[in-house]
């Protein structure tokens, strides 16, 4: 009889001593910071976006009461999904059937699925472009689509679906703004902590980061900048960042594993770098 083999465990990501600045909004910032700390990183939090729920309006109330008139409902982020579900719960003891639900990425899909919904999401990727490539969103003549998002953003989704014949309705559920930090706090982060890695997982967060970087700290543009997609990487390069990096996934574990792999010294054989070594 064969001897049972122990389950193979993935190696723990190694970020020991790396200085990482997390600019995500809360509560995602603290959650990611805990995971980074567990991987050995020295972490500072500087959330550069605050999300504030919008007050309910008569128009919003009417949309929610007519939820069963929509064929497709898209949430653009985990926070948008949470806000949408909170509002739906006020009006629908049971969510209407025959609606196709979509999450732009795995985190958004998980929020909706946790509410008992069957959710579609891109197989590969977590961007607007990946969502728009889904077969069920190609032919939408006269179909009604509800897009749950903030006051602004994700215009590519709306414009593309309308070009495909859909009747798209925007449901704005929150506003975003850059929080205020005193100059002393910003100086402490950039002058004393001196991050090697900066996590900025949206184009808006990146813009806010550029606004607060001190003019006398151009070396910060050499930090490894973790961004969510190639589109934001191009935005980062245009702003002057030399090392934008798109991880293999945006879930905390995926991000940390991808980051640790990227920062690891190249594997070598007899002192020669491996052909598979990444920059």
Task: Identify whether residues 56 and 158 lie together within a single domain.
Answer: yes
136-150 average pLDDT score: 91
Higher pLDDT, 46 or 106: 46
Model pLDDT, residue 128: 85
Task: Identify whether residues 45 and 125 lie together within a single domain.
Answer: no
Q: Give per-residue pLDDT as tens, 206-217.
A: 999 999 998 888
Return the CATH number at 106: 3.40.50.10090
Task: Identify whether residues 146 and 126 lie together within a single domain.
Answer: yes
235-260 average pLDDT score: 93
Residues above pLDDT 70, as percent of the chain:
90
155-166 average pLDDT score: 91
Last residue of a domain, one of 122, 156, 176: 176
Task: Identify whether residues 83 and 134 lie together within a single domain.
Answer: yes
Is the predicted pLDDT of residue 51 greater than 60, yes or no? yes
Q: What span, in angstroms and rounded, lies between the C-alpha atoms of 156 and 35?
A: 32
Only one residue has tokens 């069920």, namely 136
Model pLDDT, residue 56: 84
Residue 250: pLDDT band with limits 50, 70, 90: confident
**Position 6 in a domain:** no
Q: How many domains does the chain have?
A: 2
Q: What is the mean pLDDT of the chain?
A: 86
**Position 78 in a domain:** yes
Q: Give per-residue pLDDT as tens, 6-28.
A: 444 445 568 999 999 999 999 99
Domain that holds residue 140: 52-176
141-160 average pLDDT score: 87
**Position 10 in a domain:** no
Only one residue has tokens 């909004």, namely 25
Last residue of a domain, one of 126, 150, 176: 176
Task: Identify whether residues 172 and 212 lie together within a single domain.
Answer: no
Residue 96: pLDDT band with limits 50, 70, 90: confident
Count the residues in the chain: 279
Residue 107: pLDDT band with limits 50, 70, 90: confident
**Position 96 in a domain:** yes
């Amino acid at each position: 009889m064969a001897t049972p083999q122990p389950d193979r465990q993935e190696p723990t990501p190694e970020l020991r001593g790396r200085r990482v600045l997390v600019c995500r909004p809360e509560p995602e910032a603290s959650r990611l910071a805990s995971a980074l700390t567990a991987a050995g990183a020295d972490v500072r939090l500087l959330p550069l976006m605050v999300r504030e729920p919008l007050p309910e309006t008569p128009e919003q109330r009417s949309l929610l009461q007519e939820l069963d008139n929509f064929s497709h409902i898209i949430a653009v982020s985990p926070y948008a999904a949470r806000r949408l579900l909170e509002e739906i719960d006020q009006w629908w003891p049971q969510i209407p059937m025959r609606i196709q639900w979509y999450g732009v990425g795995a985190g958004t899909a998980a929020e909706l699925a946790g509410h008992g919904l069957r959710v579609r999401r891109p197989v590969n990727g977590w961007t607007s472009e990946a969502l728009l490539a889904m077969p069920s969103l190609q032919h939408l003549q006269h179909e009604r689509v509800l897009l749950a998002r903030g006051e602004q953003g994700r215009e590519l989704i709306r414009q593309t679906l309308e070009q495909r014949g859909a009747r798209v309705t925007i449901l704005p559920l929150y506003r975003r703004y850059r929080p205020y930090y005193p100059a002393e706090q910003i100086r402490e982060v950039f002058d004393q902590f001196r991050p090697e890695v900066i996590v900025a997982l949206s184009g808006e967060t990146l813009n806010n980061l550029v606004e607060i970087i001190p003019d006398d700290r151009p070396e910060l543009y050499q930090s490894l900048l973790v961004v969510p997609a190639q589109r934001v990487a191009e935005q980062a390069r245009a702003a002057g960042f030399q090392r934008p990096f798109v991880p293999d996934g945006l879930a905390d574990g995926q991000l940390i594993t991808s980051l640790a792999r990227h920062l690891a010294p190249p594997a070598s054989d007899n002192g020669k770098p491996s052909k598979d070594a990444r920059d």
